[in-house]
Structure formats: structure tokens, C-alpha cells
Amino acid sequence: MAEHAAVIGIGQTDFDAKRLDVSQVGLIREAAERALADAELDWKDIDAVVVGKAPDMFEGVMMPELFLAEALGGVGKPMLRVHTAGSVGGSTAIVAASLVQSGVHERVLTVAYEKQSESNAMWALSIKMPFTPTMVAGAGGFFAPLIRGYMERSGAPEDTGIRVALKDRLNALKNPVAHLKLPDVSFEMIQNSPMLWDPVRYLETCPSSDGACALVIGNEKHARAASNPPAWIHATNMKTEPTMFAGRDQVMPRAGLECSAELYKKAGISDPRKEIDCAEIYVPFSWFEPMWMENLHFAPLNQGWQMTYEGATALDGDLPVNMSGGVLSTNAIGASGMVRFAEAAMQVRGQAGEHQVDGAKKALGHAYGGGSQYFSMWIVADQPLQ
Amino acid sequence: MRDVAIVSYAQTPYVRSERHRNEVEMLMPIIDEVVTKSGITRQDIGFTCSGSTDYLAGQCFSFVMAVDAVGAWPPIKESHVEMDGAWALYEAWIKIQCGEVDSALIFSFGRSSMGETAETLTLQTDPYTMAPLGPDAISMAALQARSGLDAGLYSERDLAEVAARNRRNALTNPEAQLAGEFDVDALLEAPYRVSPLRDHDCPPVTDGAAAMVIATADVARNASSKPVWIRGIDHRLDCHQLGSRDLTRSPSTELAGQKAGVGTGKIDIAELHAPFTHQEIILKNALGLDDDVRINPSGGALAANPMMSAGLARIGEASRQIAGGAAERAVAHATSGPCLQQNLVCVLEG
């Protein structure tokens, strides 16, 4: 890299099913202003803006970053709009980081959002196209068979998913901005919730949320001058593979395996389970925690479920996962990847409040999208990469 | 900054309607062509970035299928912007500046024929205050054209001359959609489409795709007999509300042009992404181009306006002029949004 880059400001909206008190403009302003306040910067200090969100049809606005230009302080500045399916929030942060790492800009604001209440994502995902099967079952209908495939391969106990959901929902109670909070959540409550897409129960799936996440990314000079601690970006990576062909393993995608292996190499990590203190990863359906533990090389193949079962991924485990409550508790789709990246940064800045992992120095942020085919990841730490 | 060059460029023939090919089928031949011509193997291309919009395909995640045109196996480093391919080029250029990769494939695509483009673009406006009023893209451009006429910056005859010149230039471009000799007096006798714009002031509806390979100096010199160097690239944004803007100017183009270094040397040709005749004049003024600069030898967006590729095509067409020896230094421009809201400027040299 030409330049070191670090997260020097983080802002998230309060997430909810319907943020009827704000427009899309108000939503992104809430996140961006919180990030600027955290960075102790003003709009004029920002060189460029990078916006991310999932399909435009989710709100019914084509390239909405154009009408958000004024609200994001983008007038007279370069503005980019990223869209890489569900991984978009992560990819957007990576593009923003690259504007700093390249030496082209010094301080970049990046914002990712979704306002699902202004439309219906299930409808937007279910348009009948000629010569293609419709996906009227939403994303869960696509991913449930992959989970079935994992269960068969690994022999994981059937209640693994319930245990993941219980952990994430308990973590969400410690996160002031999380959307779905169930104070009396229990194993039985999740187990008895309706089966939506066998084996995924209602309480093992993510909600539909309104919300936004913003980051300010600065170069080394600005990171060292900041009064709040920076989260140094050690490595980023993105990887894509096609949706379907006969040789593809959709349960354990090669793009994810290679993306994380390359990421660790760039960050100088040889044993990720030991060297990474916590991980915030994209788990929209409970079972994806054990699947991604294997895909991210934290556990051997077919043994990821043991980490959940043994409590290794709990807030007090040896590799806490989804300390924020995860996508299972908050899912403003376009923002979800960036929220993962932001949580990793908050942890190494010691900023995570009740869901802080003691002494977290190095953390992973992860997002995926499409048919388990788009991956974006970063490693952040409390010190710059040597 | 690392020196980066365009090593190959290709585009589909631009047509009113691609009736028999889907997006992947449009892309495969041109991606194959630019990769083959680059001399870099698919496996060695460091990064891939595309530009497109779901609102042309009428389908969420429409860019996902385009991955099939690349041959993304083993998995590739890849990204996508919901913007014209010119901005995909910018993201790829940044990736190379980071030192992470030494080459990149860029492509963009769109089939405007599947919907009503001018009305689809209404959905680009503020959904709370502007879109409910239903301004279509041609009506908004007409407001802009009128403001320039009122300010005395050009006449309707000047606009007809822009149309006639672009479509005459297109006669030498086999991939252009609209080409021919047009008499300016005859053009001016046509009725208004949306006053003060006549049909000849507006772009055609075009289906098409474009692809490009760029690389660092070492790779480019080995790969191409005539690399075309990207000497400057910058993009800027104006505010969205038309009522808050001076529509007779393009401040974001002026700024991007300064940052990209347009004025630091003589410009031989310019490829300007001006879908409407009056916009070419606004852009020429914004970039400070002399009268001896040849504008749009390809015919520009008035000869073919493939949504999401028309900007990347300007850069590609300018690079062809340099690679072919017709120019030493060129400026290429891409636009997005109502009335030239967002603009990218790229300076190329042989």
C-alpha cells in the first residue's frame, strides 16, 4: 500500500423496523453526523464520499446517491456508489479505504444504508423474469438447502442453529442501536418459533431493518492526530465466483476460503483462531455461523459447529463472534456489511461498551452476498501493521 | 502515482434493440476480445470492475449474472459500481494505485430498449420532492437547454450544427447507431419534441456494452504495441436540486477538468459524453477547449447512447484515436444524473 489507512470515526443510526421519523436523507445524515462527531471533523474536512447500498428497487430510487449529494456533503467532491449484493457494506468500506491507501485522498466518508420500510424487499426479490424460476421464497428459500447440505456433511446436532440464535440475541441486548431485542429470549422460545424454511425457524432468521452506518477513514497523519483511538486497517480483500455451475460447492464456497486465506497472509496472520481476538461476520440465518467458521479457517471442515456448541463464539469464549448481536438482530441490508466492519473497528478501539471483548487488539469484519458468492473482509487492529 | 495505460478496448455494435442476445451474450465476445488483445491471461488479470444499473434490466442484482461473462473461476477479485463504466475504470485505477494489482478488466452494459429510458430516469430524482412531479430526462434537459438559450450562450441553429457534426462523424464509426449527412436548415424545420429540443437534439435509445483492460507500465509495455496512458482522472458532483444550480454551467466538470490536468497541454481531440446537443457546448466551455479541438470523432452520445457504457465508451473511443495515431493528447468525459449532475474527466496521452 502507498499509505496506511485507519478508521477514525464510526456512526450508526438507531436501527428499527420502520424509522418513520426520518426520510432516507435523515437516515444517512444521522449515521454520517455521528461518524463525523466521533472523528471530531466537519463536513468540509472530507475529501470524497463513497456510498453503498443493496438493490435500488428496495427503495424505488435509481442511483439514490445522486439525490443524497447535498445531504452527504458531496457537492464539489468525488462520490462513488458501490453495489456488490449482500457484501456491499463491506465492499464499500474497502473502496473507501483504497481511496486513502492509494494516496489519492486523506479523509474519506463512507455511508451504507437501507430503508426497507419504504418498500418490500421480498417483492423486489421476486420479480418474474422470462425463462428463469422466480424466487418467491425470499433469501431464506435460497439458503435453507445449503444449510441442509452442511448438516448432512458435518453431522452437526440439530439444535446448533438455535444455540447460535440464542447467543446473538443475548448479545443484541447489550447493543444500544440493535433493532430486534427480545429481553426474555430463551432456547425454548427459539425452538418453538415457527419453521419458515426448514431447518430455519422464525427466530433463527434476520429482521428487516431501516438504518445506516458510516465510517470516516483517514491516512496515517490524520489517524495519529485523532483524539479517539484509530482502528488501523491491516488488510482488505474481496472475491467473487459465479452463481452456479456444476463444479461449484455452494455450501463451502471457494471464493470465501481463498478470500480469507489471502486476507490473513496480507495481515501476517498464520493462526487465525489464536491471533484474531474477535470476529463480526455476516450470519443472516443462524447456521451460517458454523459454516463460516470453517470457511474462514477458524475450524477444520465439518467441525465449525463444535465452536458454537462449546461456547467458543460466545462473548466470553476464546473467539467471540457477532458481539453486536449480528445480522440476526439488525439487518438494514445495504448497511449490514459495513456494520460488521464497523463493529470490528469498535472492538479494537475499545469503544463497544457492554459488548466489548476485553483486550481486543485484532478483529475480523466479514460480509457475503449473492448466492454465497461475493465476499468482502478486513482485519483491523489497535496498532498499524509493521 | 503509478503510470497506468489502456491496453485494449472493445464495444458491441450499438443498436436500437438487442433482440437476440442477453447481457452475458453481449459481453462475452468483447471481454474475450479485450483480454486476448491485452496479451494478459485471464488468470493474471488482477482485478475486475463493472458498471451497470438494475433499473435497465428491471431486476435486482442484475449485475450478478454478468459475472458469467468473465469466467470467474478460480474466484476473482471483483467489484461493481451502480454507475457508468467510467467510474468502474476509476475504481480499478485506484486499486492499481494502491499497489495491490497491476492490471484490471473493466466492463459495463445495459439494454435501454427494455423500458422507457426517459421515464425510468425520473426515478433518479428526489423521491420525496421531485419524482412525484414526474419530470422525465428529456424535459429536464429541455429546461437546461432553455436556460442557455435565454442566457444567449447558443442558438437553436448552434444546437442543430452540433447534431449534424456528430452524426457526420459517426459515418466513419462502424459501431455507431445513428450516422448520416443532415442539412441544418432542414433539421430546424422539424417540430419540437420538448421545446426547445427537437428530435435531433436528443440521443437515440441504445443497447450495448463496452470493455477495457488497463495495466501498469511494465505490464502495458509488454502487452501492447501502443499503450495509451491515463495522465489524469478525476470526477466531481454538483447538487441535485435543479433549482439550486446554474444550469448553463457545469462546475463539477470545470473542477474535474482542472484536477485531471486538461489545461496543462494541448488537446487534439475530445470525446464528450453529451447526450443532448446543448450539453456538448456546456462541456466544451467547462473544459476550456479551443475551437480547433476535434470534438467527438466517434459521433458521441448523439450517435449512440448505450446507458451505463456511453461514458466508458468516450474514454475507449479517445484511446482508439491515440492508438491509431490520429491524436497525441485527448480528453474524455463521462456524465451521470439529471442535467450533467456528475462528471468524470480523463486525460489520455500516447
Distance from CA of A240 to the nearest CA of B (A): 5
Q: What is the CATH number of domain B4-115+205-223?
A: 3.40.47.10
Nearest CA in chain A to B101: A1
CB contact (8 A) between residue A102 and residue B80: no
DSSP A86: B
- Could A67 and B237 be called an inter-chain contact, meaning their C-beta atoms sit closer than 8 Å? no
CA angle, B74 as apex, B72 and B80 as ends, to 5°?
Answer: 35
Q: Rounded to 10 degrees, what is the CA torsion of A62, A84, A346, A220?
A: -100
Q: Judge whether A133 is closer than 8 Å to chain B, CB to CB.
A: no
ipTM, 2 dp: 0.97
Q: What is the pLDDT along chain A (386 residues), one digit of tens a residue?
A: 689 999 999 999 999 999 999 999 999 999 999 999 999 999 999 999 999 999 999 999 999 999 999 999 999 999 999 999 999 999 999 999 999 999 999 999 999 999 999 987 777 777 666 666 666 667 888 899 999 999 999 999 999 999 999 999 999 999 999 999 999 999 999 999 999 999 999 999 999 999 999 999 999 999 999 999 999 999 999 999 998 888 899 999 999 999 999 999 999 999 999 999 999 999 999 999 999 999 999 999 999 999 999 999 999 999 999 999 999 999 999 999 999 999 999 999 999 999 999 999 999 999 999 999 999 999 999 999 98
pLDDT of A1: 66
CB B120 within 8 A of CB B55: yes
Q: What is the DSSP letter of A41?
A: -
Please indicate if any CB of chain B lies within 8 Å of the CB of A71: no
Cβ contact, residue pair B82, A83, below 8 Å? yes
Residues with Cβ within 8 Å of A185's Cβ and at least 6 positions away in sequence, in order, are A166, A169, A170, A203
Cβ <8 Å between B95 and A98:
yes
Per-residue pLDDT, A129? 66
- Output the CA–CA distances (angstroms, integers) from residue A85 to A82, A263, A289, B54, B206, in the order listed: 9, 20, 19, 11, 26
Domains in chain A, please, with CATH? 5-120+208-225 (3.40.47.10)
Q: What is the pLDDT of residue A282?
A: 98
Would you call A102 an interface residue with chain B, using a CB distance cutoff of 8 Å?
A: yes
CA of B74 vs chain A CAs: smallest distance (Å): 7
Low-confidence ranges of chain B (pLDDT < 50): none
A189 touches chain B (CB under 8 A): no
Contact residues, chain A, for B65 at CB < 8 Å: 243
3-state secondary structure of A18: coil
Work out the minimum CA distance from A179 to partner chain B, whole angstroms. Answer: 25
Q: Report the chain A residue with the minimal C-alpha distance to residue B232.
A: A104
> What are the grid coordinates assigned to B44, written together?
493474471
A226 in the Ramachandran plot: left (φ > 0), alpha (ψ -120 to 50) or beta?
A: beta
A to B CB pairs, distance under 8 Å: 177
Cell of A365: 469484519
